[in-house]
């Protein structure tokens, strides 16, 4: 996430978040007071497979866009969403990812979501 004069903007992604944050901040001018991207605590989940992580990522992006929180700047940016809605989307996405992990492990989806 980043918070600046435009409000809060969130970057949704799966994979190595440290690398993504470093890339987003590469040309930020910290010494001149520019805001930098940082990890939103509590909104990180480790899946067993890349497919699960990607399914969760796509779920957040798709549903945020449907609700009008997407941006024209980048397909993975979300803006204008409140923390309650973002948290609810995150919980939904984790369930989607868990189900995807279970699918690859041969476990019934209902059991995996409740686990």
Quote the percentage of the chain above a pLDDT of 90.
46
Distance CA 41, CA 53 (A): 17
Give the HSE-up count for residue 59: Cα atoms under 13 Å, Cβ half-sphere: 21
Summarised one tens digit per residue, pLDDT across range 57-71 is 999 999 999 999 998
Model-level pTM greater than 0.85?
A: no
Q: Are 70 and 89 in contact (CB under 8 A)?
A: no
Query: Residue 22, Cα to own-chain centre: how many angstroms?
Result: 16
Alpha helices by DSSP H, listed for 28-82, are 50-66
pLDDT at 46 over 80: yes
Mean pLDDT of 43-68: 93
Which DSSP letter does residue 42 get?
Answer: T
Q: Are strands 2-4 and 7-11 parallel, antiparallel or unpaired?
A: antiparallel
Q: What is the DSSP letter of 49?
A: S
DSSP 3-state of 7: strand
Rounded mean pLDDT, 13-28: 87
């Amino acid at each position: 996430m980043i918070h600046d004069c435009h409000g809060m903007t969130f970057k949704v992604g799966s994979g190595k978040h440290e690398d993504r944050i470093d890339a987003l901040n590469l040309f930020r001018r910290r010494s001149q007071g520019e805001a930098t991207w940082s990890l939103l605590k509590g909104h990180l989940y480790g899946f067993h497979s890349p497919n699960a992580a990607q399914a969760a990522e796509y779920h957040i992006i798709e549903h945020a866009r449907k609700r009008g929180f997407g941006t024209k700047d980048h397909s993975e940016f979300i803006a204008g969403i409140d923390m309650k809605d973002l948290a609810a989307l995150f919980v939904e996405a984790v369930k989607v990812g868990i189900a995807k992990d279970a699918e690859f492990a041969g476990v019934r989806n209902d059991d995996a979501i409740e686990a």
